[in-house]
Amino acid sequence: MAVFMDSSWSRRFTYLFVLVMEVLQMLLSQLIEHDSSFGVHWKCHEIGLFQLCFVDDLMLSCNDDEASVLVFQRGLQEFANLSGLRANPAKSQLILSKSAHGNRETLLQLLGFRQGLLPVQYLGLQLISSRLKISDCQPLLCKTNKELRTGKESGCRSLAAYN
C-alpha cells in the first residue's frame, strides 16, 4: 500500500515537528536554568547550545557527569508525560567522551540508551567539527548522482510507455 501526501500536509508536518521541538527546548531550558549542576559541553558553552534538531533527529549535548545527564532524563520524561512522545531506546545512543570511562555504565543506565561511537554518520556523511572537504562528501555525492541517474532513466521509460 502506498500513501502519497500532498505538499500542504508536508508543510503542516514540518511545522508541527518544529513546534514540538520548541516545546522540548523550552522544557529543557527551564530545567537547566533551575539546576546549577547542569554543565554545557565545553565546545557549546559560549553560545549556550545543548540541542540540535534536523528533520526528525535530535542531538542533545552536555557534560559527561551524572547531574547533567539526569537533567536530560527528567526533561525527556516530562516531555513524554506531556506529549506522549518518547525517545526510542533502540534508535537512541549516548556518545561519551574518553574522560567519562569511570561513570560510563551509570550514564548509560540513566537514559537506557546504548553507547554510540564517534564519528557519527548522518546521510552518509561523518559529522565532524572541522570544515568538510570534497572527499568527505564524496559518498553522498555518488549516491545522489546514482539516484538521479536511476530516476531519470526510469522516468524516461515510464514516459515512453505513454507514447
Domain match, 46 and 88 both: yes
Mean pLDDT of 126-140: 78
Q: In this model, does residue 129 exceed pLDDT 70? A: no
Average pLDDT rounded to a whole number, residues 97-106: 80
Assigned domain for 133 exists: yes
- Identify any residues that bridge with 153 across adjacent strands, giving them in sequence order: none
pLDDT (tens digit, 9 = 90+) per residue, 14-33? 788 889 989 999 999 999 99
What is the reported pLDDT for 160? 47
Q: Do 114 and 128 have their domain in common?
A: no
* Global confidence as pTM: 0.68
Q: What is the pLDDT of residue 9?
A: 62
CA distance 38 to 15: 30
Query: Do residue 68 and residue 131 come from a single domain?
Result: no
For residue 36, the model assigns a pLDDT of: 87
Question: 23 with 98, same domain?
Answer: yes
Phi then psi for residue 81, to 5 deg, are: -65, -35
- Domains in the chain: how many in total? 2
User: pLDDT band at 5, cuts 50/70/90?
Assistant: very low
For the segment 34-78, what is each residue's pLDDT rounded down to a tens digit? 988 888 777 777 777 777 777 677 888 888 889 989 999 999 999
Same domain as 150, residue 97: no
**Contact 56/21 with Cβ under 8 angstroms?**
no
Q: Which domain holds residue 141?
A: 122-163
pLDDT interval class at 11 (50, 70, 90): confident
Cell numbers placing 48: 549556550
pLDDT tens digits, 147-163: 888 865 554 444 444 44
The cell numbers describing 126, all together, are: 561523518
